[in-house]
Copies of this chain bind each other. A is one copy, B any other.
């Protein structure tokens, strides 16, 4: 499974502070730690500039330079704003960026999809439209279909799309775990060349022992067909279970990666 390290995100107050203070050392260290822990891609989100587009762009440009100087990994350019994504991409010197994210909202499709096409980027596509996260599987799939049609019109191949089925908290509606898992299965079946990616933490919102719930959901999602996960790579229990999940789903020939990780002391219970 592809591991996308989530830690460099301005929604974390320490990261926001480090960005504001231009604390290169802190952020470079956070990037390196994630890479050492096994992240395949480092997500980079510099925040919304406290409402100032100008500041959001300046923060994003500075941050991407710091992170790409620190690690030799592909980066995910993570922002809600097409303007920020475009500006940050200009600073990105890596080969194929991952743009995080588009939705089926026409405005977002029209502003971000051309950038994906131009840069031959990969893209995270959220299974939602302007109405927010749909509570039903079929409405999430309809959003995927609208995205796929739009991207096909720009000659963006399915293999460059990572769908995010989205997760609503199980504490609010106990059917939502199955809704997300069924959405993963349906996406796999309809778009066999596309990938499926997910962040975990929403599922456990409002519950105690959230990380335990998140990890359990990750295992179910791995069986349903998840290819990639947006996760804290410094969470050694989660990283151990990703290795176990790959092994149990037949993606680890001769259990080699699991056994190697165990010998290094990286499999924790």
A residues contacting B by CB (< 8 A) are 170-171, 174-175, 177-178, 181, 203, 207-209, 211-213, 216-217, 219-220, 222-224, 237, 240-241, 244-245, 247-250, 252-255, 258-259, 262, 267, 269
Contact = CB atoms under 8 A, between A and B. Distances in A.
Nearest to A220: B223
A258 to B, nearest CB: 7
A203, A211, A249 pick with most chain B CB within 10 angstroms: A249
A254 to B, nearest CB: 7
Nearest to A244: B216
B220 A170 contact: no
Contacts of A253: 174
Contact of A247 (B174, B240, B244, B262): B174
A51 to B, nearest CB: 36
Nearest to A240: B212
B248 A217 contact: yes
Given A216-B241, A248-B220, A170 B255 contact: yes
Given A170-B247, A174-B250, A247-B177, A262 B216 contact: no
A249 to B, nearest CB: 6
Contacts of A174: 247, 250, 252-255
A220 B222 contact: yes
Contacts of A171: 255
Given A170-B248, A174-B253, A258-B207, A216 B219 contact: yes
B177 A262 contact: no
Contacts of A252: 174
Contacts of A249: 177-178, 220
A228 B70 CA distance: 49
A235 B237 CA distance: 18
Contacts of A258: 207
A211 B222 CA distance: 19
Nearest to A267: B209
A136 to B, nearest CB: 14
27 contacts: A170-B247, A170-B248, A171-B255, A174-B250, A174-B252, A174-B254, A177-B248, A177-B250, A178-B249, A181-B223, A208-B262, A208-B267, A209-B240, A211-B269, A212-B241, A212-B267, A212-B269, A213-B244, A213-B247, A216-B241, A216-B244, A217-B248, A219-B219, A219-B220, A220-B249, A223-B224, A237-B269
Nearest to A237: B269
Given A209-B267, A212-B240, A237-B269, 7 more contacts: A174-B252, A174-B253, A207-B259, A208-B267, A212-B244, A216-B244, A220-B248
